[in-house]
Chain A
């Protein structure tokens, strides 16, 4: 197994070690991956390595289409340490067509007055400075 650090995920990552660190490797390849429990078939996003429903660790990776709809959002005018220079930014919760939800920033291309709950969005990998990587929600 090739060691992949999760520490490159997001603007600031608070952890580096996780069983699902491969998520970052897939993200580099342009894929946003969920995990599925091989036993009960439940789909997880954000991905998790362990299924609490049947205590299984037998999971497989599965790519999300990226098609989703906005559930709710907020435009932040105050930020925790490390995010001050990005203000204002819009944090969103979206529902993917596969049924799972994603928490991400809305692309700065979307103006605040264009935001509508229920609008269609596309979840897309995003390269950040200093070799970091994340995903964001864009117009389809």
Chain B
């Protein structure tokens, strides 16, 4: 393995953060450089990641690069909606492996309060195929709700099992000072919450947030000088699926996640059972259950049972989203993948505090853009 993550940073995720996007990115950048032996001048390139429909600033990479003092080093912009910053990691990995750049900063951000609620509501309608699906008034929760009904219909997954994903998220949110919602929720609260898109209710859905994340990636020879605890990129996989629902072959899982996982496991010479701790893209509770299955933590159709048996809690078969996940942290689109990777890096460095999974050697990150449109799976090891 020749590429490591040597520094990780994140701002708190919150509503109406009250600062500008450049300042958000600076906070995450400073956090990532803390405690490592690296000055900004040694960074060879940056990859800036966000979903531009939520940005006022056009071409934000240049602005962020300037504010972080990285000019005149090259800066690039990577976008795959909710998976933008794990796409940025793949770009950074490729730069380093190819020998183009030795040290790369991947900065993901989103200030979702930058646009008004009305503007956000208008954009939500255009997330689907605008020619053939948006004219029917769809949006993200409706898309995942259709997967939920299909999963319930085929496998007998229940609304209680969906709710149990949020109950776990709530429990761990109390231990994550950077999470937006830090509160435990009961099964009853989840089941009685107002309906968003049946069968998904309020607590089945993540929420918009403002925030930024930053990862510093380095080539092997330099990584060991920068930190005593580099975390290695062991496997990295990416895939896409159709934007249109009508062209999907399966409505009970995300084909892009299955394929990205296959690539990542193959590259890492690992199997699902080798993973000690995972971060999966739980934008909705059903998404976490499908991720268990798509990543091979259980068989197809057994995701509901896995959470029912508490196997994805710390101490279970495979701890998942022990930082509270998107459901509690909030989902500042462009920052999310970087935040997930940060959580796994801290786990593998033994710095996860009260959510530390004992002797975690291998971690996996599953970051999805859209309704299974883009899938990135990254396997890290210490």
Contact = CB atoms under 8 A, between A and B. Distances in A.
Contact of B136 (A10, A18, A81): A10
A15 interface: yes
Interface in B84-136: 118, 121-122, 124-126, 130-136
Contact of A12 (B118, B135, B150): B135
Contact of A14 (B126, B139, B244, B245): B126
B142 A74 contact: yes
Given A81-B122, A81-B125, A72 B146 contact: yes
B194 interface: yes
Interface string B165-207: 0000000000000000000000000000011111110000000
Nearest to A89: B137
Interface stretch (A25-33, A53-61, A97-105): A97-105
Interface string A45-85: 11000000000000000000000000111111111111100
A45 B137 contact: no
Nearest to B201: A77
A81 B121 CA distance: 6
A91 B138 contact: yes
Contacts of A45: 246
Contacts of B133: 103
B136 A104 contact: yes
B163 to A, nearest CB: 17
Contacts of B149: 72-74, 117
B131 A93 contact: no
Contacts of A14: 126, 130-131, 134-135
A91 B137 contact: yes
B153 interface: yes
Contacts of A81: 118, 121-122, 125
Interface residues of A, number: 38
B9 interface: no
A13 interface: yes
A77 B142 CA distance: 9
Contact of A13 (B135, B141, B148, B195): B135
Nearest to A80: B125
Contacts of B121: 80-81
A112 to B, nearest CB: 8
B246 A93 contact: yes
A108 B34 CA distance: 58
Contacts of A75: 195, 197-198
A18 B245 CA distance: 20
B246 A80 contact: no
Nearest to A132: B135
A37 to B, nearest CB: 15
A101 B251 CA distance: 12
Contacts of A76: 137-139, 141-142, 145, 196-197
A51 B121 CA distance: 34
B206 to A, nearest CB: 14
Interface of B: 118, 121-122, 124-126, 130-139, 141-142, 145-150, 153, 194-200, 244-248, 251
7 contacts: A10-B136, A14-B126, A73-B146, A74-B142, A74-B149, A78-B139, A80-B124
